[in-house]
Amino acid sequence: MNDMMTTKAKRAARILRDDLAGTGVDITHSRALEIVAHQLGHRDWNTAAAVLDQSGHALDPSPTGMAHPVPVLRMLDERVAREFYVDYLGFVVEFEHRFEPGLPLYLRLRRDAFTLDLSEHHGDGTPGSVVWVPVVDVRALHRELHATTYSRLRPGIDDAAPGGPTLEAIDPFSNVIRFCQPAGRGKR
């Protein structure tokens, strides 16, 4: 990995460790690097290192340093949220946080390169929000979702949707995730 990318990744891991230590959570530098890799959408640090070495700009995608945004959606029931996002949509929990037992939960979820935060905190997100997510093969996602045992939602594909074929999944809190296969991308 080139020196600039190594320095940025190590700095991000150090900041993460310092911030967590300030809240009483201690993690190793190795764990911090793994978390940084996950935040970049990679399976683990070794994968991230290989990609960063090839691209040279994954931590700094533009001259301004802006990266992918992370939408924050409101959830009202942790059990129901996990059933929908983890069991049905196939997300994994990256981290979860409560200031203390009994207080609202904040979850970070990931599936592939899609990172999503769910929050029980009042003021974080508004039920009924919409997140548009580009996908390579909306029909493969449709087949996958219909193969689950989740019976509360059986979305179809809208082939006439603006931008390309779209599968719309509405979570139990009225938030809408629009998985769209942009015109000209992926399989039809």
3-class secondary structure for 123-154? CCCCCCCEEEEECCCHHHHHHHHHCCCCCCCC
pLDDT tens by residue, 52-98: 654 444 455 556 777 778 999 999 999 999 999 999 999 999 999 99
Average pLDDT, the chain: 84
pLDDT band at 119 (very low <50, low <70, confident <90, very high): very high
pLDDT at 46: 65
Coil/strand/helix, residue 25: coil
On the 0-12 / 13-18 / 19+ scale of CB atoms within 10 A, 74 is: buried
pLDDT tens by residue, 167-188: 999 999 999 999 999 986 555 4
Q: Which two tokens stand for residue 25?
A: 């959570």
Q: pTM score, two decimals? A: 0.66
Q: Is CATH 3.10.180.10 the right assignment for the domain spanning 72-180?
A: yes
Q: What is the mean pLDDT of residues 22-38?
A: 84
